[in-house]
Structures are given as structure tokens and as C-alpha cells.
Amino acid sequence: MSIPKSFIDQVLDQTDIVDVVGRRVQLNKKGSNYWGVCPFHDDHKPSMAVNQDKQFYYCFVCQASGNSINFLRDYENLDFTDAVETLASSLGLEIPYEKTEIQDENDYSILDEAVKVFEAKLKESKKAISYLKSRNISGITAKKFQLGFSDDSWDSLYSSFEKRFEQKVMTSSGLFLEKNQKNYDRFRNRVIFPIRNIKGQNIAFGGRVINPDDEPKYLNSPETKLFNKSNELYGLYEARRETKKMDSIIVVEGYMDVIALHEKGIKNAVATLGTAVTSNHLSKLMRYSNNIFFAFDGDLAGEKAAWKALQNVLPIIREDTRIKFVFFEAGDDPDSYVNKHGDKGFIDLINNGQTLSEFFFSKVKKVDDINSLEGRSKIASYASELIRTINNVPLREAFISETSKICEIPVEKLISKPNQPKPKSSSAEVKVEQSSNTKQIASIYLIIHSVLTDRSLTQDPIFDEIKDDSSISFLKELREVIEVESDTLVSKLIERIKSKTLKELFSQAMVSEIKIEQEDARKMFFDCMNSLLKDEEDREESLKTKYNTGSISETERRELQQLILKKPEIDNEDKILLKNLSLKKD
């Protein structure tokens, strides 16, 4: 069953977001926005803006944003349908449900049935039970996580489901493979780990081999419409069942680590699912706890994973967030360590982990020789690039100060502090929040407001001048999101945006104090677009300068490579540069 889009629009049209939020959070009017303490993180100062004209809210700390439906979903932990039903009920409206060709119920049902099959096969398999016992996993823990087993048959699961589910549901489930016009079970001869979302719904599976000679060791379901590995964390549902307010969360690398820790009574462990820790993962983690511990293997892969997590957390870390990193010695991981040293030994190790700043500076000090002037200069440059991404002002200032001491460079010379730009026009009052690239952000805010004021601008050919690989390529999506002959509310437009970057900037722009009159919209739009396009043209020379001065980051190094490779003709100078860029850094 689904809800007609027209009815959702009707509910949003008749709902005042100030009333919805105001019934749950105390709001005070300031400027064009209402401000309140954000309920989605441990907020001590009002950081959430609610705009009545645009029917939109945005938190400047944790980036929670959206319309009335989004707010209710997050605040009351509702799914989309329940949130719409809540709003509709308050308006005295009844939802006119309509049937869909393939209902989500079937997509979940096939996975639920697969869990039952795998669980039953585990009970029948002596070798699978023996394996779990060898890993010190009890029957109670196995039942709690609904662990299962897939036999060695090529198609036993497919054969049992073939007559029970439509082929489209079978294909989209991720449980099967198709080769040479035949269908096979994806998981064979593996211990099965059902993957559940935060609501406890089965959305995917992980499988681990029992035979050490089999490959790959771990296998996950492919991404489906129910499963996005960049968003999901194994064990989070189970951890939340133990306590709604978790004092801390421990992030480990695999599902066996999670289960081993739960077995020993450490029930706040979660794991990523075959991917690095993403910004989405971190935002979700910080929603449920202020204390995040990363416990990774001490090898090169573990250190890289931890460093990636650190880089992703810097832009979104809050003042109340505490991050620590723990690395295990060779031959150990969370599973083996907790079995050797018990829960107390493991907790002691975690509590004595490196803080965010300790890990950061231990890493950047290794960039070059800290005892030489040239080395300190390179370290300062590398650290500064990362520090610029920190939006938490007190933390950024602390990192700048520490880098200044380490590199013996005055603070005022080390890094330029982000300013709050205030672009002015005769009819536009603009207040742009701090950003690592405030000029570009200010221009994007003004472009968004210009096209909302004059929607015909989305059809201008100037959008065709934006290259697909440019840093502002996401602006092209404005054409699809904003229809010329439409007065669709902003609170609905945001739902159409697919680009994470555009959605974030769109959200920020909607609660800014920007006001653009109809007669000024076109001039403002073209001035800002031309400015951005010119900046893109100057990008290659800027990156070459950074390369020559040794201040180019790894991301910028790759960007410069791509800019050169996309040229119709590459001259000798660029060929030499390209060769040098391709060389791995020491």
C-alpha cells in the first residue's frame, strides 16, 4: 500500500511546521526564523532554525533538516507512512491508500522467510554449530542475532522460493545470482548474519565461510532498494534494544567482532558492512551517543580505515562529541582480544584509546621530518588542509593552536580563519554561515534563491557550461528539481534532490536571511554563475601552484590528474607533471 503523492502534498500544504515543531520544542522568533534547541543532538544553545515561509527546518550543528514529515519521523522514530498518518490525523484527513505493483511488504517478506530457512538449517548443521562453538558463540547469542546457515547446494533456497514469490521480488532481494540464464543461491556453505535496519526489519545478509580455504571470507548482499551499505551499521538495532540512550558506541570492523562483544556483555558494538566509515554512518552514530570509540586492527588497513573515519568526522563533530581510537596488535582483533582478556580488559583498553586530537597529531607528525624547517612546513600545510574542514569553531581553534606549537609557526601565519561573508545588493539581505569556502557557498545560496524567485532561470543554457566533473556539477540538478511552471513549496522540493551536496546547501540557503526581489533575480543569478564558472577555469592553475609549493593534498592531486587527462591535447610539460603525479607518495 502506498500514499498518493497528491495527498502528501495536501498534508504538507495544510500543515504549519512551526506548530509541529513548536509542540515538541520551545521556539523563539528571531529575524525571519524561529529558533530552538535541536532535539537530534545534545544541544545546549538553540541551533535549529525553523522557517515558516518555506515550511522547513535546519540544524546548523548536526545538519538535521527537512519538512514536517521529516521532523516527525526523526523526533518520534516513525516510518514515513506513520508520520504522514500522524499529520493527517491532526488535520482530520483520512489517507486514500493505493495499491502498488510490487509492495514493500513482499520485499521484506522474502528476506524474513530467508531468515527462517537459514535459522532452521543452522539447527540441522553440526559443522556450523561446531564452528560457532569454536568461536565461543552461545545459542542464546545466536538466537538473539538470528544467526543461520546456508548449505552447499547451488539453488536450494531459490527452488523453495520459486513458486512463493514473484520473479521481480526474487531478483531485487539480493539473495540470488543469475548466470547463463540460470539462477543460483548467492550464499552457500556459510554462517549467515541477518542485517537489520534501526527498526529491526531484515534488509540484507552477510555470510562467513566455515572452510578456511573458501573465498571470499566475508560476503554481503548487494545494495538494493532496502539496503544501502553506506547508511547501515550491523548491530545498531540490537544495541538500541538494550538501551535507548547509549553512553557510548564501539565501532568495529566485522560482524563476528560485534557478536563476540555482545557475548561478553559489551552490547554497544556496531560494525560497518564492507565499506569505510562514511559521513552518514557518523551522523547516525552521533545521533545515538556522544562518545564514539573506533576499535580497528593495528595493520595498515585498520589504520587507513581509522584515518578515513577521522577525516569524515572533522566537518561534523560537535562540541559534546568525544572520539577515541584503539588499534590492536598484530594477530589480535576485538573478537580475539575480548576472549583473551574478558569484558573488563576490553573496556580498559577502549577507555585508554587515543583521543581524536592524539590520533590526528600522531599521524600528521609522520608526514615529514619534524626536526627540519622544510619538514615542519610540509606538516603544517598538510594539517591545515584538514583543519579547514572543521566547522566546530572551538575545536578548530584548538587544532590550529596545537599545530602552531608543533610546527613553530605563528597562529596568524598558519591558517586563514573562515569569515562570514556578507554579499550585499540593493534588494538582497544576505547572511551566510561560516564555511571552508565561503565565497563559493555564498554564490550558491544566491543562485538557489534566484531560481526560486524566477523559476524560468533553470532553463537557461548557462547550466550547460558546467562540466560534469567540476566541483559545482551538482547545480545541474536544479533543472530537474525546480519546474518552471510550478509553485511547489520548498518543503516538497527538497525531497526531489538526490545530490547530498545540493541538498545540504539547499537546506542551509532556505534558513538564511536572503531575500531577493523578482526584478533582481536574473542579474544576481548570472553574476553568481559567471563567478563560479570563472573560478572553475582558474582551478587547474591553482592546483599546479599548490603542487609546485608542496601543499597539494591527495584529493587535489587526483583532481589535477583528472583535469589534465580530460584535455584534448596534452603538452610535454603536462605529460611530465602527469607522470610525477602518478608516482606514489612515500
Closest CA to 87 of 34, 3, 8: 8
Please work out, in degrees rounded to the nearest 5, the angle formed at the alpha carbon of residue 130 by the alpha carbons of 134 and 256: 50
* Residue 30, CA distances (Å) to 10, 36, 220, 263 in order: 29, 10, 49, 51
Per-residue pLDDT at 175: 98
Q: Which CATH architecture has domain 365-414?
A: Up-down Bundle (1.20)
- Per-range mean pLDDT, top range of 317-331, 493-507, 539-553: 317-331
**Cis (ω within 30 of 0) for the bond into 216?**
yes
Per-residue pLDDT at 430: 35
Is pLDDT of 485 > 60?
no
pLDDT tier at 100, thresholds 50, 70, 90: low
DSSP 30: E
Question: How many Å from the N-terminal Cα to the C-terminal Cα in the chain?
Answer: 57
DSSP 355: E
Q: How much of the chain, in percent, has pLDDT values that exceed 70?
A: 91
Torsion of CA 86, 89, 90, 91, to 10 degrees: 130
pLDDT per residue as tens digits for the range 57-74: 999 888 888 899 999 888
Mean pLDDT of the chain: 86
How many Cα neighbours within 13 Å face the side chain of 433?
19
- Domain limits, the chain: 5-91, 104-220, 236-341, 365-414, 424-537, 539-582
Per-residue pLDDT at 558: 81
pLDDT per residue as tens digits for the range 229-254: 988 999 999 998 887 668 999 999 99
Q: Which CATH architecture has domain 236-341?
A: 3-Layer(aba) Sandwich (3.40)
Torsion sign (Cα): 259, 264, 270, 273 = negative
Is pLDDT of 115 > 50?
yes
Which CATH number, 3.90.980.10, 1.10.3430.10, 3.30.160.270, 3.20.20.10, labels domain 104-220? 3.90.980.10
Please tell me the pTM assigned to this model: 0.61
> Average pLDDT, stretch 281-289?
82
Q: How much of the chain, in percent, has pLDDT values that exceed 90?
A: 47
Beta carbons within 8 Å of 89's beta carbon, 6+ residues apart: none
pLDDT tier at 437, thresholds 50, 70, 90: low
CATH tag, 5-91 = 3.90.580.10
> Average pLDDT, stretch 208-219?
92
Closest CA to 150 of 200, 105, 184: 184
Q: Name the grid cell of 496.
A: 526531489
Residues 543/563, Cβ–Cβ less than 8 Å: yes
Rounded Cα distance between 408 and 379, Å, is 11
